[in-house]
Amino acid sequence: MKTARLLLLASLLAFCSCEKIDKDCPECIRELAREYAKRPICDSGASVGQMLFQGEYVYVFYEGSCGADMASSVINQNCEFLGNLGGFAGNTKINGIEFSVNAVFQKYIWKQE
């Protein structure tokens, strides 16, 4: 009986941890965010943010602030990779457009606690 309770508790905890990912985004983005949340590189500050850019929602997978040369991947709502921001090269453009000036933050899909 004690083993059954432990299994139930473990299942509930696993289910609840997945619920921290916003469900109001494409399924492929939710799946990428689930995988991303399992392997954060930094101890804090990692997130997946939804931005409005060039008339569509894009998702920025931010690694956190534990390294100066960390790049953030930008993926569109069809789960197509658009490019990286930051990193060693210090890239600031996606599709030839200055991202920080033209992208509007909407919400976090997932944020490391």
> Does residue 71 fall inside a structural domain?
yes
CA distances from 68 to 9, 32, 102 (A): 39, 24, 23
Q: Which two tokens stand for residue 69?
A: 């040369």
Percent of the chain with pLDDT over 90: 58
Query: Could you tell me the residue range of the domain that residue 80 belongs to?
Result: 22-111
Q: Is residue 12 part of a domain?
A: no
Does residue 4 have a pLDDT over 50?
no
95 in any annotated domain: yes
pLDDT in tens, 48-69: 999 999 999 999 999 988 877 8
For the chain, the domain total comes to 1
Q: Any residues with CB less than 8 A from the CB of 69 and at least 6 apart, and which?
A: 86, 87, 88
Residue 31's H or E segment, with its range, is helix 27-38
Q: What is the pLDDT of residue 100?
A: 95
- Digit-coded pLDDT (tens) for 68-87: 788 999 999 999 999 999 98
The verdict on residue 9 lying in a domain is no
Sorting pLDDT into bands at 50, 70 and 90, what band is 20? Answer: confident
In a domain, 45, yes or no: yes
**What pTM does this model have?**
0.78
Mean pLDDT of all residues belonging to the chain: 83
Query: Higher pLDDT residue, 95 or 14?
Result: 95
**Six-digit token pair at 100?**
């920080």
